[in-house]
Amino acid sequence: MKTPQYLLAFFLAFTAVSCDSFLDVEPKQYVSDEQTILDGASAETAVRGMYRTLSANGYYGTTFPSIGYLSGDNIQWTGSQAITGQFVNHEVRADNSILSTLWSSIYKTINSANHVIAKVPTLPLEPSFPQAKKDQLLGEAYFVRALSYFDLARVWGGVPLYLQPTLTATDNRGIPRSMVADTYAQVLKDLTEAEKLLPNTTNRIRATQKTVWALRARYHLYQKEWALAEEYASKLIGEGNYTLVKPYSAWWANNVVASQESVFELAYSAANTNSHRGNWQPPTNGGTRQWAPNTAFVDLVSNPAIGGNRSALVSKTADGRWYGNLYYRSPATDPAYVIRIAELYLIRAEARAQQGGTTKLEGALADLNAVRSRADLPALTPITDQAALLLAIENERRIEFAFEPHRWFDLVRTDRAAAVLGLTDARRYVLPLPVDEITLDKALVQNEGY
């Protein structure tokens, strides 16, 4: 069933601005945007609600990241839920409820952003709500909408573009899917708007101009616009506020939040937990271990010449079962890691390698070795073969982002899914639209092969 997109969560006001308290709020009631976004204070509340929908378990809390790594080659399915196994086995059905949850959750996030985009420009300025604050909130909404459509495109290809807030559940009925190029064009349009509006500050849990640059680097990588990917990644690398922290576990172990490694992460609290850890941790740690690192990945990450100190990602129970360590906190306040500086290094490495030439290849190798150094791995000797260097970058990304939403999308965007996964049916590189959405809206056409 379509999520009622005309609803917007109204949250209690915050009295603190720390990373720990930003999302530590309980829903008060559900009311129409007509009542909530009336002034600067309610606009700020609506933006907090927008981040809350972005971080919901149906989106970045668990569902979207899990599709990104379950569909790759690092994870085995160990649980009893057959719908989860469909991603591991690349046999996803249109009636998979996880897909339905993700679709609804992303569009709910988009609708939250749409309300802010529609209403904030009409609000009067106040001493406590100057133009700069107005621009910031509007820029954050454009960024979140861009991220949401980027993720939709990665999972489904072209999708319907809903750019106005909805007030009834049927407001968007009859809008057909856009072409995938048009979906990505909307992402760039929103990022361009966000870049103009947001301040050039450092904030690891809310979007700023720097956050936009990071997502633009990823966007241009996916579009094979190598020079632009390099340019935008370079805006953050060496900027001073983002660092490859050592050892590898320093950005997530010991309950750390918003480390210098983080460009953008989503915060949780005891009142607003992240369900992710329950799927990873074994029963002895209060989890279900529905999925776990597979033997191939354990062998790689445990090899000192490949994994280095990233072996901290995995542990073994007393009875010999491996499990992942990235999501482990109790209560379950593990952040959702959206963009790290390590990704920017490897984006720039790949973009440089793709451009070719001695100087670019040397620069690519330097970026790759920076990530390896943080993992206590020796520097690779000069690689003059472009294909060999690109493969080395791909292999590094596999280990570096093993439990984050990258591996599956990396293999698809580089046309490597067939060679690595044996998945030769290219129709399976996007997932089926949820069958309930197709049933409710006849304007939606299913992806080929489903």
> Is residue 235, in this structure, part of any structural domain at all?
yes
> How many C-beta atoms lie closer than 10 Å to residue 118's C-beta?
15
> Is residue 334, in this structure, part of any structural domain at all?
no
| pLDDT value at residue 171 | 86
Helix (H, G, I), strand (E, B) or coil at 9: strand
Q: Where are the alpha helices (DSSP H) in 61-208?
A: 63-70, 82-89, 97-119, 131-156, 180-197
C-alpha to C-alpha distance for 431 and 92, rounded to whole angstroms: 7
Residue with tokens 């993700």: 102
| pLDDT value at residue 167 | 82
Q: Residue 55: what are its φ and ψ, rounded to 5°? A: -90, 0
Q: How far is CA 339 from CA 59, 86, 211, 291, 426, in A?
A: 15, 27, 8, 23, 27
pTM, two decimal places: 0.92
Q: Residue 15: what are its φ and ψ, rounded to 5°? A: -110, 0
> Is residue 99, in this structure, part of any structural domain at all?
yes
**Is the sign of the CA dihedral 45, 47, 51, 52 positive or negative?**
positive
> Is residue 274, in this structure, part of any structural domain at all?
no
The residues with which 265 forms a beta bridge, in sequence order, are 337
| pLDDT value at residue 391 | 98
C-alpha to C-alpha distance for 291 and 420, rounded to whole angstroms: 20
Residue with tokens 């995938």: 180
Residue type, 134: K
Domain CATH code at residue 80: 1.25.40.390
Domain span at residue 145 reads 8-249+339-440
C-alpha to C-alpha distance for 103 and 432, rounded to whole angstroms: 11
Q: What is the pLDDT of residues 97-116, one digit of tens each?
A: 999 999 999 999 999 999 99
The two structure tokens encoding residue 428: 């399976």
Per-residue pLDDT of the chain (450 residues; tens, 9 = 90+): 344 433 333 333 333 333 333 333 333 333 344 458 999 999 999 999 999 999 999 999 999 999 999 999 999 999 887 899 999 999 999 999 999 999 999 999 999 999 999 999 999 999 999 999 999 999 999 999 999 999 999 999 999 999 999 987 788 899 999 999 999 999 999 999 999 999 999 999 999 999 999 999 999 999 999 999 999 999 999 999 999 999 999 999 999 999 999 999 999 999 999 999 999 999 999 999 999 999 999 999 999 999 999 999 999 999 999 999 999 999 999 999 999 999 999 999 999 999 999 999 999 999 999 999 999 999 999 998 999 999 999 999 999 999 999 999 999 999 999 999 999 999 999 999 999 999 999 999 999 999
> Is residue 287, in this structure, part of any structural domain at all?
no
> Is residue 147, in this structure, part of any structural domain at all?
yes
| pLDDT value at residue 25 | 33
Are residues 258 and 265 in contact, defined by beta-carbon separation less than 8 angstroms? yes
> Is residue 241, in this structure, part of any structural domain at all?
yes
> Is residue 102, in this structure, part of any structural domain at all?
yes
C-alpha to C-alpha distance for 262 and 12, rounded to whole angstroms: 27
Q: Which residues contact 344 (CB under 8 A, 6 or more apart)?
A: 214, 217, 233, 236, 237, 242, 263
Picking from 439, 413, 437, the residue whose alpha carbon sits closest to that of residue 102 is: 437
Tell me how many domains the chain contains: 1
